[in-house]
Structure 1
Amino acid sequence: MAVFLSTHVNKVDRKGRVSIPAQFRQSLAKTSAPNALYVWPSLNHPALEGADQDYIDILSDSLESPDLDAEEREMIETFIFGKMVPLTIDNEGRVGLPKDLAEIAGVGDEAAFIGRRKTFQIWEPSALKAHEDALREQVVKKDISLSQIVAKAQRGARAGEGA
């Protein structure tokens, strides 16, 4: 499974093609389908979500879980899989962003790619900046730190071992 890191802003050409960030392409090269990726409208933001084939397979398999509420399954199948578009990376590292998806994200002359570990998002650059500013305020307000997150995860792992 690919790991998507960092933020990159790339130009969108007149044909709607945009270069996939080099780091993303390098990570995709290690997957089962190195030239393929999928994008769909975000459920929560004016952006697109994206992932590799391996992640999509895991997401699809997860929908078979009996623990998943039927209503949630319906939403995911309709709004994720129903709107998902497979994209193929060309020899120059570009994909063509479908016009309807680009419009959903407000992407025009530039597209901001932000890595989110196993997935990534595509934003209109100024909208991403506003989103990041709002998140930064929440982080400060809630006094979130990486050491706290690691400590919580370690406590959870130890509790799971004792069960």
Structure 2
Amino acid sequence: MALFIDTFINKIDKKGRISVPATFRAALANQAFQGIVAFPSFKYAAIQCAGMDWMQALTDRMTQVDLFSDEHDDLTATLFADAKQLPFDGEGRIMLPESLAAHAGITEAAAFVGRGSGFEIWEPAKLEAYKAEARRRALEKGRTLRQAPGGPGGGA
């Protein structure tokens, strides 16, 4: 599965195209679909993005939820109903649909932020406010990540 790190801010051209960061495109290079899958975040004014393999993994995990249950219906409506396949053009750009741009409040520029197995697209000022709040919460709540034995920082 692809790994996405770092933050990049790119401008949207007059035709609504925006360049996906080269490192993100490289992480997706081995995918059958040459592009990204994007859908409105149900938690933030942002756009959730990943490769088709990530979407397939979500589909596979949906088998753990009872078919036709409210939970299944809520999750599939949230994850799949508004998802868009956005192919890369010859220069590594995508067309950002108006519905997604409006959801995130994106007009002239967008911030691509790595989130590990996926990434998000934000309006740059909203991203900075979110990151400041996330850091404040992490510090206030003493957030930590337990190291796996033998993993980075976990010893041998």
- CA–CA distance in structure 2, aligned partners of residues 134 and 68 of structure 1: 37
Q: TM-score, normalised by structure 1?
A: 0.85
1:75 to partner: Cα distance: 1.2
2:154 is matched with which residue?
none
2:146 is matched with which residue?
150
RMSD, aligned α-carbons: 1.7
1:90 to partner: Cα distance: 0.7
Q: TM-score, normalised by structure 2?
A: 0.89
1:68 to partner: Cα distance: 8.2
2:8 is matched with which residue?
8
- CA–CA distance in structure 2, aligned partners of residues 81 and 111 of structure 1: 23
2:18 is matched with which residue?
18
Change (3 A) 1:134 1:75: same
- CA–CA distance in structure 2, aligned partners of residues 68 and 94 of structure 1: 37
- CA–CA distance in structure 2, aligned partners of residues 89 and 8 of structure 1: 17
2:72 is matched with which residue?
73
Gaps of 5+ in 2: 150-156
1:17–1:95 CA contact under 8 A, matched in 2:
yes
- CA–CA distance in structure 2, aligned partners of residues 75 and 5 of structure 1: 29
Cα deviation code 1:133-159 (max 9, x no counterpart)? 1001111111224xxx134x55xxxxx
- CA–CA distance in structure 2, aligned partners of residues 66 and 140 of structure 1: 34
- CA–CA distance in structure 2, aligned partners of residues 31 and 101 of structure 1: 23
1:36 to partner: Cα distance: 2.1
- CA–CA distance in structure 1, aligned partners of residues 65 and 6 of structure 2: 35
Cα deviation code 1:103-123 (max 9, x no counterpart)? 110011000011111111100
Higher helix share: 1
2:49–2:118 CA contact under 8 A, matched in 1:
yes
- CA–CA distance in structure 1, aligned partners of residues 28 and 121 of structure 2: 16
1:38 is matched with which residue?
37
Secondary structure of 2:18's counterpart equals strand
Change (3 A) 1:47 1:53: same
- The alignment status of 1:126 with 2:149, answered yes or no, reads no
- The alignment status of 1:28 with 2:1, answered yes or no, reads no
Change (3 A) 1:66 1:41: closer
1:95 to partner: Cα distance: 0.1
Q: How many residues align?
A: 149
1:98 to partner: Cα distance: 0.4
- CA–CA distance in structure 2, aligned partners of residues 67 and 4 of structure 1: 31
Secondary structure of 1:63's counterpart equals helix
User: Percent identity over the alignment?
Assistant: 36
